[in-house]
Amino acid sequence: MTRRGNFLLFEGVDRCGKTTQTKLLHEALNASSPSHPSALLHFPDRSTAIGQSIHSYLTSSEAMDDHAIHLLFSANRWEAASKIESLLASGQHIIMDRYSFSGVAFSAAKSGMSLDWCWAPEIGLPKPDAVIFLDVPVTQAATRADFGQERYETTAFQEQVYKNFYHIMERTSPKWHVVDATGTIEQVHDKWKMEFFFLDVGHARASVQLAGVPSGERAETFGRDGTT
């Protein structure tokens, strides 16, 4: 039986360092465990037709209904679901830069968009084994290179996104690891890297999916069938 790969996710506000840190983890895993290769995935995936529509929206002032664009982001994740499951089943580890939690945190920062409504389209997607939240004050993230180039990169909006991430942490059950991301690239890398090597890399386990979370309650599991 092929040992299932691990699904490791990085989340945080824009310009918190996710892209850099996911690349470092990808390289570290491949160097330390060449027999257990890893794949590096990013969302939104702008290489697909849906992803190209998302890119056009993010980099322009084009108007679109908030509910519609949220469903477009969710569809972008769904079109990768079978690939994610296939990679994990083959024994590959997945390192991911953004996923459903970002989708919900960002959409729910808009007026009239609730966390529960935003979460509904994510139900059934593959569940990450662990999430690292790169915690950096929005005021600091806003000083980093390229902040402000895309639609959602305003300080006020990102502050609400930041708050939403903490609401989501309280209500969901993957293992969240909050890491102070205010230091240098190397300092941040050192803060989280040992936490991830505690994982039983290559440990065989069944597929687990995201499920609904009741309002105001902490989920004991994300599994539809009660599994963790």
Q: How far is CA 64 from the centre of its chain?
A: 23
Categorize the per-residue pLDDT at 165 as very low, low, confident or very high, splitting at 50, 70 and 90.
Answer: very high
pLDDT in tens, 124-152: 999 998 899 999 998 888 887 677 577 77
7-196, what's its fold?
Answer: Rossmann fold (3.40.50)
Give per-residue pLDDT as tens, 4-45.
888 999 999 988 888 899 998 888 888 887 777 789 999 999
Residues, the chain: 228
Residue 135 carries which side chain, given as an amino acid letter? Answer: D
Q: Kindly indicate the confidence band of residue 168, based on its pLDDT and cuts at 50, 70 and 90.
A: very high
- pLDDT for 86: 95
The Cα–Cα gap between 206 and 68 comes to 33
% of the chain surpassing 90 pLDDT: 45
The pLDDT of residue 210: 67
pLDDT-derived band at 216, boundaries 50, 70, 90? very low
The predicted model scores a pTM of 0.82
Strand order in the sheet with 7-11: 38-42, 93-97, 7-11, 130-135, 175-180
